Amino acid sequence: MRSIQKNLETFHQAGINPVAISVDTPEESHKLAQSAGYRFPVLSDQSKEVITRYDLVHKGGGPAGQDISRPAEFLLDSTGTVRWRMLTENYWRRATPEMIMEAAKGLQ
């Protein structure tokens, strides 16, 4: 998410509005966003409704064995249709801003 913040202006210029979704409580998500200086929304999916809908639940993947979300990045169009996605099992492997921008260019 740090790389998203670093490239936020570039994303906005390309018409991309980043949003992060976490299984943390709304308070934890807000605290994370504030402490990290994120200027994009960090939403809470504490009920896991969204991550279940997008097949992102990593059963027992949390430090205490709780269900968490698999790492993923999506590009959605203005109707909410998923136009591109990157899913991974490896928390450390994420789409780079360059990969996201390249994918977005391919969708225009």
Strands (E), the chain: 20-22, 42-44, 57-58, 68-69, 72-76, 82-87
**What element of type H or E holds 104?**
helix 97-107
List, in order of start, the domains of the chain with CATH numbers. 2-107 (3.40.30.10)
DSSP result, 9-23: HHHHHTT----EEES
Three-class DSSP category at 89: coil
Walk along the chain (108 residues) and give the pLDDT tens digit of each residue: 899 999 999 999 999 999 999 888 999 999 999 999 999 999 999 999 999 998 888 899 889 998 888 889 999 988 888 999 998 776 678 899 999 999 998 886
Tell me, what's the pLDDT at 9? 95
